[in-house]
Amino acid sequence: MSIFDLLSLLCGLALFLYGMDVMGESLKKSAGNKLKMILAKMTSSPIRAFLLGLGVTAIIQSSSATTVMVVGFVNSGTMALTQAVGVIIGANVGTAVTAWITALSGVGGEAAESIGWIEWLKPDSWMPILAVIGICLLMFAKRGKKKDVGCILLGFAVLMVGMSMMSGAVSGLKNDEGFKSILTMFSNPILGSLAGLILTTIVQSSSASIGILQSLTVTGAITYGAAIPIIMGQNIGTCVTALISSLGAGKNGKRAAMVHLYFNIIGVVIWLSVFTISNAIFSFEFANQAIDMWGVAGVHTIFKILSVIAISPFYKQLEKLSVLTIKDKKDENEKTNLLDERLFNTPSIAVESASIVTSSMADIACDALKKALVLFDKYDAKLADEIRDLEGKADQYEDAIGSYLVKLSAYDMSEADSNQITKLLHLIGDFERISDHAVNIVESAEEMTDKKIEFSSEARREISVMKRAVSDIVEMTHKAFIENDIKLAENVEPLEEVVDGIRDKIKLGHIKRLQKSECSIEHGFVLSDILNNFERVSDHCSNIAGCVIEISKYDSLNMHQYMDEVKNDKAHFNKKVQEYKAVYSLD
C-alpha cells in the first residue's frame, strides 16, 4: 500500500463521514415537525416505543443521534424513562438500515457483466443522477423542504463516493500477507471487540465504523470469525456519544444513556459468548470464510435482532438497572434540567419543550397571585413566604426560558415554530410581572398587619369586588393561554376595562370618605398601592391575551392591530363590558 493509497483512503474516509453527517442532519431537519407529531401520539406501550425508535433511526440514519435526542427528551420531561427504554431498543435495530445502504456499493462484479440490468443497481450508475438532482434543488429551489431534499441527495452521493474511494484504496491489500496477519488478531473475541469499540469511539458513529469495515472487506482478508467480534464492539462504541451527551444532564437523562450502554453490553456478552463457545465446539465452516459488504450488514442486523429477542422481555429490569446505577440525590435541583439544548437539533421538539415549561411558569405566577389575594382575608406569614418562593421560581423560569429561546432562535426552523418562540418570549415577561405584583400585594398586606390598618366596611366591600374581578381575569387569561383558546382570550380585554373602571370608582369613594374623615391619608397610600397592583395585573393579562390572539390568528405579533380590531368591533366589546359591569358592580 503506497502513500497515495493511504491518502486516497483518508480522503475517502473524510468524504464518507461528511456525506453521512450532511445526509443525517438534513434528514433530521426535514423530519423535525413530523417527529414532534409522532412523539405526541406515542403511548407507554413498549411495542410502540420500539417501533418509534426503529422508525426515527431509519429516517435519520444514526442510533447515536436518536439516543442523544432521547436523553434530551427524558432530561426535559418530554418522555418518561420507561418509554425511553423501548425507543432506545428500537434505535439499535434501526441503525442496521445504514449498513444495507452502504452495502449497495458492493453490487455488481461478474454478475453485472453477464446481466446488463444489474449494472444499474450499482451506486456508481445512478448516484450521478441523484447528485445532479440534489445540486439543482439546492441551488434553485426557493422552499426550505426542497433544499433539505437536495442536501439529503448530495449527502448520500458524497457518502457513496467516499465508500468507493476507501474500497479502491485498500483493494491492493488483497494479497498482502502482513495485512492478513494483522486481521487474524481480531479473531480473538476480546481484541476484536476492543478494536470495534475504539474505531466507533473515534468516528462517533457505529454506522460510519460499519461502513469502514465494509470497505475493508474488498481485500478478501476479513473472515466472519474476525468480523463478528469487531461488529459487536462497534455496537458498544456507539454508546459513547450518548454518554458524553448525558454528562450535563439530570439523573433521568443519565439513566437513558445507561440504558443504551447496558443494552449493547448485555447483548454483546450474551451473543459473543454463544458464538465463541459454539465455534469452539462445532468449528463453524463459515467462520473462516471471507466476509463481504452484505455479510457485514447481515451480521450486524442479526446481532441487533437477537439482542432485542434476548433483552426486550426484561426492559423493566433494564430500567431498574439504570436507576440503581444513577441513584436519586436529595439535593438535586431538577429545574435546570427542564430545558435541554440537546433538543436544538430538532427545533420543533425544543419549542414544544419550552412551551411546556412556560405553561409551568404560568401556573406558578397565577398561583402566586391567587394566594396573595387570600392574604387580605386573613394574613398568614407562612403563606407570604410561599408566595415569595413562587415569585423566585418564576424569576428562575423566566431567565432559563428566555436564554433557551434566544439560543434556539438561531437554528433553522419552520415559520410556526419561529412564531411560537416570539410568542413565548413576550409571554414570559408578563407572567413574571404578575408574580412580582403578587409579592407587592403581600407587602401591602404585611404593612396593614404591622400598622394595624383596617379599612372601612365599605372599602372592604369594594376591594372584595375588585379582588374577584382580578382573580377571574387571571384565571381566564391562564386558561386561554394553556388551551390556546382565542374566544376566551377575546373576553379578557373587556374585563380589563371594567377593572380600570372599578379602580377609579374605589379611588373616588376613598376621596369622599377622606372628606368625611372616615379614612386617613395612610389608608389612602396603602389602598393606592393595592389598586395599582390589581390594575397592572389586569394589564399584563390583557397583554397575554392579545399575544395569544395575534399569534394564533395572524402568525405575527402586532398589538396595535389587535387593539384596533377590539375597538372597531364596538358592539361585541361594549356588550361584554356591560355584562362584566353587572357582575362586578360596586353599587
Residue type, position 21, single letter? D
Q: Is 392 exposed, middle or buried (0-12, 13-18, 19+ CB in 10 A)?
A: middle
Q: Is residue 333 part of a domain?
A: no
Q: Is residue 332 part of a domain?
A: no
CB 441 within 8 A of CB 375: yes
Q: Is residue 203 part of a domain?
A: yes
Q: Which three cell numbers stand for residue 113?
A: 457483466
Crossing angle for the helix pair 251-282 and 224-237, to the nearest 10 degrees: 170
Let me know whether 173 and 301 are in one domain: yes
Let me know whether 58 and 76 are in one domain: yes
Residue type, position 296, single letter? V
Q: Is residue 338 part of a domain?
A: no
**How confident is the model at residue 180, as a pLDDT?**
54
Helix (H, G, I), strand (E, B) or coil at 56: helix
Name the domain count of the chain. Answer: 3
Helix (H, G, I), strand (E, B) or coil at 223: strand
Q: Is residue 340 part of a domain?
A: no
CB 211 within 8 A of CB 203: no
**Taking Cα atoms as reference points, which of 99, 93, 12 lies closest to residue 50?**
93
Let me know whether 233 and 378 are in one domain: no
Let me know whether 167 and 249 are in one domain: yes
Global pTM reads 0.57
Q: Is residue 331 part of a domain?
A: no
Last residue of a domain, one of 295, 325, 355: 325
Q: Is residue 520 part of a domain?
A: yes
For residue 203, the Cα-to-chain-centroid distance in whole angstroms is 24
Q: Which three cell numbers stand for residue 166?
A: 476507501
Let me know whether 350 and 280 are in one domain: no
**How confident is the model at residue 363, as a pLDDT?**
92
Beta bridge partners of 290: 223
Let me know whether 420 and 384 are in one domain: yes
**How confident is the model at residue 204, as a pLDDT?**
66
Let me know whether 446 and 474 are in one domain: no
Let me know whether 320 and 394 are in one domain: no
Let me know whether 232 and 268 are in one domain: yes
Let me know whether 373 and 510 are in one domain: no
**Taking Cα atoms as reference points, which of 156, 173, 124, 169 lies closest to residue 16?**
156
- Distance, in Å, from the CA atom of 526 to the CA atom of 448, rounded to the nearest integer, reads 8
pLDDT tens-place string over residues 428-463:
999 999 999 999 999 988 888 888 888 888 888 888
CB 569 within 8 A of CB 466: no
**Taking Cα atoms as reference points, which of 240, 88, 104, 232 lies closest to residue 160?**
104
Report the CATH number that the domain containing residue 433 is assigned in CATH.
Answer: 1.20.58.220
Residue ranges of the chain with per-residue pLDDT less than 70: 1, 20, 24-25, 27-44, 59-62, 64-65, 72, 75-78, 104-126, 142-144, 163, 167, 170-186, 203-204, 245, 248-249, 328-338, 517-518, 552-570
Radius of gyration of the chain (CA): 32
**Taking Cα atoms as reference points, which of 202, 20, 215 lies closest to residue 98?**
20
CB 60 within 8 A of CB 28: yes
Q: Is residue 336 part of a domain?
A: no
Let me know whether 236 and 382 are in one domain: no
- Distance, in Å, from the CA atom of 442 to the CA atom of 384, rounded to the nearest integer, reads 6
**End-to-end CA separation in angstroms for the chain:** 99
**Taking Cα atoms as reference points, which of 313, 301, 341, 346 lies closest to residue 54?**
301
- Distance, in Å, from the CA atom of 513 to the CA atom of 458, rounded to the nearest integer, reads 9
For residue 513, the Cα-to-chain-centroid distance in whole angstroms is 58
Name every residue whose Cβ is closer than 8 Å to that of residue 123 and which is 6 or more positions away in sequence: 104, 105, 107, 160, 163, 164
Let me know whether 403 and 462 are in one domain: no
- The single residue listed with the C-alpha cell 473462516 is 288
Range of the domain at 544: 455-587
pLDDT tens-place string over residues 15-55:
877 876 777 667 666 655 555 556 545 545 778 888 888 88
What are the φ/ψ torsions at residue 223 (nearest 5 degrees)? -95, 170
Q: Could you tell me if residue 77 is left (phi over 0), alpha (psi between -120 and 50 degrees) or otherwise beta?
A: left
DSSP state of 375: T
Q: Which three cell numbers stand for residue 172?
A: 491492493
